[in-house]
C-alpha cells in the first residue's frame, strides 16, 4: 500500500511539473521587417493620403490565439538603415527559438547607402547623422546578415522580394526580377532560407486585373509605390498565398482556413520602435 502511494505521488508530481512546463511555453511570434510598403505610418495606421502597408493587415490571416504578429517595419528604411537605426537590434533582442522573421526590402536600396548586387564588395561612406565612417555592404550581403542572425536565434527567416510599383510597359506590370528581387532570392538560396517571390505573385495578379482597374482599386494617381487600404489587404493575402506555395510551409499550422471577409478586416496597431531622443 505504501509503495502504491509512493508511485501515485511520483506520478502526480510528474504530471504537475509537465503541466507547468507546458503552460509556461510562450506562443511564437512572426516579426515583420521592411519599409513603408510593409508598414505605413509610425504606428502602422496608414497616413492622411490613405496609404497602407500590407503588414498592418496580415494578422487577420493567422490564428492569433496560437501565434503573435509584430510589425517592426518602418518607412524610409533600407536593408542597411534598418540596422543602423537600431531597429533590427530590437527584434533580435526579442527573437526566440520557434519565432519567424518575414523580411522585405529593396525600395529604399537604390542610393549610395547600399551596394547593388549580392556580392562581397564594400565602400566606405561618412554617415551624416552619426558623423562616423561606415562600411557599406551589398543588398544581398545585408539580407544574408538578417537570415544568419535570425537562424542563430533559432528562428525561421522568410525572405520576400519587394512589392511591385504601379508601373506598366505594354500592358504588363514592370517586374523587379533582375535587381533587388533577384538578389533577395540569391541571398535566401545561399543561406537556406525560405523565399517568396512576392514581386512576381503580385505583378501577376495586377496583370490579370489590368492597368486601369489596378489604379482605381489599389493606388492613387499620385503614388505608384504605396497601395491604399484595399491594395495592402490584397498584398497581405498574396503574402500568405506565397507561404502556402512553399515546400514545407513553416507557418502552415497557424494560417486560418476560413479567415474573415477582407471587408471586415481591422488594422493591427503597432508600437513606435524608433530610438527616443535623449532628454535635454
Tell the CATH topology of 27-111+140-264: Rossmann fold (3.40.50)
Please give the pLDDT value at position 280.
59
Q: At residue 195, does pLDDT exceed 90?
A: yes
Q: What is the pLDDT of residue 272?
A: 93
205 is written with which cell numbers?
495578379
User: pTM (2 decimals)?
Assistant: 0.90
Distance CA 79, CA 138 (A): 9
Domain ranges of the chain: 27-111+140-264
How would residue 48 be classed by pLDDT, with cut points 50, 70 and 90?
A: confident
Given a cut of 80, whether residue 221 has pLDDT beyond it is yes
**Mean pLDDT of the region 229-247:** 98
Mean pLDDT check: name the lowest of 45-49, 133-137, 186-190. Answer: 45-49
Whether 199 and 242 have beta carbons less than 8 Å apart is answered as no
Spatial separation of the C-alpha atoms in residues 163 and 199, rounded to whole Å: 5
pLDDT band at 24 (very low <50, low <70, confident <90, very high): low
Residue 7: the pLDDT is: 47
Asked if 29 contacts 12 with a C-beta cutoff of 8 angstroms, the reply is: no
- 3-class DSSP state of 3: helix
Q: What is the pLDDT of residue 20?
A: 42
> CA triplet 270, 275, 276: central angle to 5 degrees?
100
Q: Indicate the pLDDT class of residue 16, thresholds 50, 70 and 90.
A: very low
Asked if residue 143 has pLDDT above 60, the reply is yes
pLDDT at res. 277 = 79
| pLDDT band, very low/low/confident/very high, at 131 (cuts 50, 70, 90) | confident
Find, among 197, 173, 202, the residue nearest to 185 by Cα.
197
CA distance 201 to 176: 12
Amino acid at each position: 500500500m505504501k509503495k502504491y502511494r509512493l508511485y501515485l505521488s511520483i506520478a502526480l508530481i510528474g504530471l504537475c511539473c509537465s503541466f507547468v512546463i507546458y503552460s509556461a511555453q510562450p506562443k511564437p511570434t512572426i516579426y515583420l521587417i521592411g519599409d513603408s510598403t510593409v508598414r505605413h505610418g509610425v504606428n502602422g495606421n496608414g497616413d492622411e493620403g490613405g496609404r497602407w502597408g500590407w503588414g498592418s493587415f496580415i494578422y487577420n490571416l493567422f490564428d492569433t490565439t496560437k501565434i503573435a504578429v509584430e510589425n517592426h517595419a518602418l518607412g524610409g528604411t533600407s536593408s542597411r538603415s534598418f540596422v543602423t537605426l537600431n531597429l533590427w537590434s530590437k527584434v533580435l533582442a526579442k527573437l526566440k527559438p520557434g519565432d519567424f522573421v518575414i523580411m522585405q526590402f529593396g525600395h529604399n536600396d537604390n542610393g549610395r547607402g547600399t551596394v547593388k548586387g549580392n556580392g562581397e564588395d564594400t565602400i566606405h561612406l561618412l554617415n551624416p547623422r552619426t558623423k562616423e565612417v561606415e562600411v557599406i555592404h551589398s543588398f544581398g550581403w545585408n539580407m544574408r546578415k538578417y537570415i544568419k542572425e535570425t537562424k542563430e536565434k533559432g528562428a525561421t527567416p522568410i525572405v520576400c522580394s519587394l512589392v511591385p510599383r504601379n508601373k506598366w510597359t505594354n500592358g504588363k506590370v514592370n517586374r523587379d526580377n533582375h535587381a533587388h528581387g533577384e538578389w533577395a532570392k540569391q541571398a535566401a538560396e545561399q543561406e537556406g532560407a525560405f523565399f517568396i517571390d512576392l514581386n512576381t505573385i503580385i505583378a501577376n495578379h495586377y496583370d490579370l486585373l489590368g492597368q486601369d482597374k489596378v489604379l482605381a482599386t489599389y493606388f492613387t494617381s499620385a503614388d505608384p509605390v504605396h497601395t491604399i487600404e484595399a491594395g495592402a489587404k490584397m498584398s497581405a493575402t498574396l503574402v500568405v498565398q506565397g507561404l502556402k506555395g512553399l515546400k514545407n510551409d513553416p507557418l502552415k499550422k497557424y494560417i486560418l482556413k476560413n479567415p474573415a471577409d477582407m471587408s471586415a478586416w481591422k488594422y493591427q496597431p503597432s508600437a513606435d520602435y524608433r530610438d527616443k531622443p535623449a532628454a535635454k
